[in-house]
Amino acid sequence: MPKENAVPNGVTMKDVAARAGVSTATVSRVLSGKGGVTPELDQKVRQAIAQLGYYPNATARRLRQRDTRIVGVIVSDIQIPFFASIVVGIESVLSEAGYLILLGNTLDDLANERKNINTFLAEYVSGVIFAPADASDTTHYEKLQRAGVPLVAIDRNPGKLEVDTVQIANASAAARAVAHLVEEGYQKIALITGPDSISTAVDRRRGYERALVAAGLPIDPDLIQDGDYRTEGGYRSMRALMEGPHRPTAVLSANNVMTLGALQYIHENGINIPDDIALISFDDIAWAPSLRPPLTVVAQPVHEIGRVAARLLLERIEEPQASIKHVTLETRLIARASCGCGRSSSLKSGRKLSLQSK
Amino acid sequence: MPKENAVPNGVTMKDVAARAGVSTATVSRVLSGKGGVTPELDQKVRQAIAQLGYYPNATARRLRQRDTRIVGVIVSDIQIPFFASIVVGIESVLSEAGYLILLGNTLDDLANERKNINTFLAEYVSGVIFAPADASDTTHYEKLQRAGVPLVAIDRNPGKLEVDTVQIANASAAARAVAHLVEEGYQKIALITGPDSISTAVDRRRGYERALVAAGLPIDPDLIQDGDYRTEGGYRSMRALMEGPHRPTAVLSANNVMTLGALQYIHENGINIPDDIALISFDDIAWAPSLRPPLTVVAQPVHEIGRVAARLLLERIEEPQASIKHVTLETRLIARASCGCGRSSSLKSGRKLSLQSK
DNA sequence: CTGAAAGCGCTTACAG
DNA sequence: CTGAAAGCGCTTACAG
């Protein structure tokens, strides 16, 4: 059976008040720093606090004030660098503002998502930042919304939910990548995409198609493979493309997790990048420059996504009735070598060519 | 100014009690599930809960019970896959046990570490799992310990702190890697290591030296470079080795972050792995098999480290006086190709050769 | 400016 | 088995 919890420090505000010879109200006033306490008493209280090593109990304060200053954050997997960096971005802004973060790792499982949201409700969180696992089922988020919890959606479109959002320009980012491949001379360009239930996959596909049309190239359904945003899906998709009727000469992979699988197929079959197949992947990851050839990527401003989302949430907490904001951030195409860049010239590893998407 | 916080759901236990025609004590008893309530009342209460959509306020419960069921977790950087996976391991066990996690990302900065620990104290956390930034200064952890907070150290040795620990067999893991290189025929084997303030670096170096001695090879100080466990350090170290007086034929990198830098130097200078230099790195990461050649690594049981640490903490919370436990987990050497494996035979990508360290 | 008192939403001895 | 009451550690009107 659980023993009674350790009481880290027996000292309460009452002890401080007694020692300083004042009421707890006065101690509270000193702590709040809002003034209204004579210098003498202020001095006495501070002394007592120091002598006793007192620090306020956050739980008690939270119960009394209606503001918990806890923010729930829901991502699909903190082990994916993309989400880890977003969380760090969120944290940098929120901790500055005195908020605590409760992290919910859903692994894109609806049951986990629901469980996390119930926890958030029970904790009376001040707000929630989330990347919805499935835009077609947002009923649990509606529950939060009905309860009056400020919400900010990141990365993915939250379906019919009317909330602040922070996203990247997915379509134009994909289009820019495809256009780059076209400029490099590729014509048979394939796409490994994600599930239709996730907006980023849909938008990236749209950008892909738009760029092909703009280049006067046909849209070949055989060259669009659903990789489910997973590693195995990336593997399967790459195989389908390479063994299919219309073998492409270049591929855009819509996220880094699928790229992992695609590369596995490529390596297992001794396929050469970019000579046999050129490759561009969404998401810059630390290892991209170390791949041979270095991986050309569509880099998302991950920290910025987190920071902006955190700021939007803070604003929403201040002004619940303000009009809803949708922030779109730009991406960068970092041309390394997997896209065929410099095939004709000598390659310099580590070189970075930054291009605005659109 | 912050507005009054949203009250997610006005319903309190009092409302439920009123609706069910019982006292709050009875509602509380039903909720606790410890029995002692007649079926009729139990029924009425459950009905009222369902009708009102009631859920208990975790803050209030936490204040009343002395047990917050919050665990603080301190890692140096959640963006490093090694730590992200450990956190996921911790979370899987703790959430099962009804605990919440408060994550502290220190970025190996002592000020951040201190700030996080003060937060943990104010939150009256039930326990803390931590990877100490610097074993030589653990005063802030002693503060936690004096306050009676159960502690479990992971990954790194916590200096003179007497707490439960979960570590890997660092010395033998490093020794195993070096022995493997020796078996492959390498004689001039270098080490890129971390700072002396982090025990894993010291232990890995010891294992490295031990293996050299065991193989009858000399220990050459020029072949031991301090890479500071950072990417830039890995780059600098690799350069020092390749441009130094005693150019090695093989290198062991003591963590994956430094390997990133080492690879950068290698690629920039057109150095061939493994012909010019063989490479083994600590930490398996998702991209290791996708590198050319695939990276041979010392894989740590990351999820297991987290899970074991969480279990130790739960046990410690139950029995604060139990004797201190030190758990050492084994690693696996995953021989891919960067170590020169199969240089003479044809390589099959993706093949995994698992060897027990020790 | 200061303090006594109420109250945040629960749980838990204590009676009955 | 059930309820009235106290109390967890704070903050905040309300008087003075």
- The reply to whether the CB atom of residue A57 sits less than 7 A from any atom in nucleic acid chain D is yes
Number of residues assigned to chain B: 358
What φ, ψ does residue A279 adopt, rounded to 5°? -145, 130
Query: Which residues, 6 or more positions from A257, have their beta carbon under 8 angstroms from its beta carbon?
Result: A80, A229, A230, A231, A234
Chain CA centroid to CA B204, Å: 17
The C-alpha of B213 sits at a distance from chain A's nearest C-alpha, in angstroms, of 33
Residue A343 banded pLDDT, cuts 50, 70, 90: low
Q: What is the pLDDT of residue B351?
A: 37
- Share above pLDDT 70 across residues of chain B, in percent, rounded to a whole number: 93
Residue A1 has pLDDT above 80, yes or no: no
Q: How far apart are CA B238 and CA B252, in angstroms?
A: 11
Place of tokens 């972050």: B257
Alpha helices per DSSP H over chain A: 13-20, 24-32, 39-52, 58-64, 81-96, 110-122, 139-146, 170-183, 199-214, 231-243, 256-268, 302-318
B347 touches strand D (CB under 7 A): no
Query: Looking at chain A, which residue has its C-alpha nearest residue B143?
Result: A8
Residue with tokens 């044809």: B346
CB contact under 8 A, B79 and A85: yes
Any strand D atom closer than 7 Å to B41 CB: yes
- The rounded Cα B20 to chain-centroid distance in angstroms is 48
Report in angstroms the alpha-carbon separations of A174 from A203, A283, A298, A328: 8, 11, 8, 15
Strand D nucleotides where any atom sits below 7 Å of a protein CB: 1-5, 7-13
Indicate the pTM of the whole model: 0.91
Interface size between A and B, measured as CB pairs under 8 A: 182
Query: Percent of chain A scored above 90 by pLDDT?
Result: 84
CB–CB contact A67 B291 (8 Å)? no
A322 touches B at CB < 8 Å: no
pLDDT of residue A341: 85
Residue numbers in A 8-27, CB below 7 Å of strand C: 21-26
Q: Do B8 and A121 touch (CB under 8 A)?
A: yes
| Crossing angle of the two packed helices A81-96 and A302-318, in degrees rounded to 10 | 40
The integer distance in angstroms from the CA atom of A14 to the C1' atom of C15 is: 30
Contact B276, B258 (CB under 8 A): no
Residue A356 above 70 pLDDT? no
Instruction: Tell me what pLDDT residue B7 has.
Output: 52
Inter-residue contact B282 to B204 (CB < 8 Å): yes
Closest C-alpha among A310, A218, A311, A200 to residue A257: A200
CA A351 – CA A335 distance, rounded (Å) = 8
Residue A142: pLDDT band (50, 70, 90) is very high
Q: By C-alpha distance, which of B263, B272, B284 is closest to B353?
A: B284
- Nearest residue, CA→C1' of D6: B64
Measured in whole angstroms, how far is the alpha carbon of residue A59 from the centre of its chain?
A: 29
Q: Side by side, which strands form the sheet with B164-168? A: B100-105, B70-75, B127-130, B151-154, B164-168, B326-329
Q: B9: pLDDT confidence band, cut at 50, 70 and 90?
A: low
* Segment B95-108 mean pLDDT: 93
Categorize the per-residue pLDDT at A355 as very low, low, confident or very high, splitting at 50, 70 and 90.
Answer: very low
Exposure letters A117-153 (e unless 16+ CB within 10 A, then b):
bebbbbbbbbbbbbbbbebeebebbebbbebebbbbb
Best mutation site among B287, B297, B303 for testing chain A: the one with the most A CBs within 10 Å? B287
Average confidence (pLDDT) over A206-230? 97
The mean of the pLDDT values for chain A is: 91
Q: What is the pLDDT of residue A350?
A: 32
Distance CA A35, CA A21 (A): 18
Q: Which nucleotide is nearest to B28 (CA to C1')?
A: C11
For the record, the structure tokens of A17 come out as 């008040």
Coil/strand/helix, residue B329: strand
State how far the Cα of A44 lies from the Cα of B325, in Å rounded to an integer.
Answer: 45
pLDDT in tens, A92-108: 999 999 999 999 999 88
- Contact: B103, A105; criterion CB under 8 Å: no
Q: Which residue has the higher pLDDT, B157 or A347?
A: B157
B39 touches strand D (CB under 7 A): no
Residue B58 vs residues A125, A170, B164, B255: alpha-carbon distances, Å = 10, 39, 29, 40
pLDDT score of B355 more than 60: no
Using the structure, give the distance in angstroms from the CA atom of B16 to the C1' atom of D3, rounded to a whole number. 15
For the segment B116-138, what is each residue's pLDDT rounded down to a tens digit? 999 999 999 999 999 988 878 88
| Position with higher pLDDT, B357 vs A21 | A21
Model confidence at B96, in pLDDT bands (50, 70, 90)? very high
| C-beta separation of B153 from B131 below 8 A | yes
Is the separation of the CB atoms in A267 and A279 below 8 Å?
no
Q: Among residues 7-26 of chain A, which lie with CB inside 8 Å of chain B?
A: 7-9
Mean pLDDT, to the nearest integer, of B288-314?
A: 96
Q: In which band, very low, low, confident or very high, does the pLDDT at B213 lie, cut at 50, 70 and 90?
A: very high
Residue B221: burial class (beta carbons within 10 Å; 0-12, 13-18, 19+)? exposed
Asked if strand D contacts B29 at the CB level, meaning under 7 A, the answer is yes
Contact B59 A56 (CB under 8 A): no
Q: Report which of B89, B260, B99, B313 is spatially closest to residue A79, judged by C-alpha positions.
A: B89
Q: How far is B262 from chain A (nearest CA, A)?
A: 10
Query: In A186-229, which ranges are continuous DSSP H helix?
Result: 199-214
pLDDT at A273: 96
Per-residue pLDDT, B8: 53
**Residue A244: which of A221, A273, A260 has the closest Cα?**
A221
Q: Which residue has the tokens 């690693």?
A: B331
Query: How does DSSP classify residue A254?
Result: S
Question: Using one digit for the tens of pLDDT, what is the confidence trace for A38-66?
Answer: 999 999 999 999 999 999 999 999 999 98
CB burial string B284-323: b at 16+ within 10 A, e below: bbbbbbbbbbbbbbbbbbbbbbbbbbbbbbbebbeeeeee
CB of A5 within 8 Å of a chain B CB? The answer is yes
B229 in Cβ contact with B281 (< 8 Å): no
Environment class of residue A39 by beta-carbon count within 10 Å: exposed (0-12), middle (13-18) or buried (19+)? exposed
pLDDT tens sequence across A5-49: 445 558 999 999 999 999 999 999 999 888 788 999 999 999 999
Closest residue (CA to C1') to nucleotide D11 in the complex: A64
How confident is the model over B298-312, as a mean pLDDT? 98
Please tell me the predicted confidence (pLDDT) of residue A132: 87
pLDDT at residue A2 tops 50: no
Which one of B118, B279, B290, B346 would you mutate to disrupt binding with A, by most A Cβ within 10 Å of its Cβ? B290
Tokens of B173: 């893991």
Whether B22 sits with its Cβ under 7 A from any strand D atom: the answer reads: yes
Q: How far does Cα B64 stand from its chain's mean position?
A: 32
Output DSSP code: residue B325. -
Instruction: Report helix, strand or coil for A225.
Output: strand
Contacting residues for B151 by C-beta, under 8 A, at least 6 apart: B127, B128, B129, B130, B141, B144, B145, B158, B161, B163, B164, B316
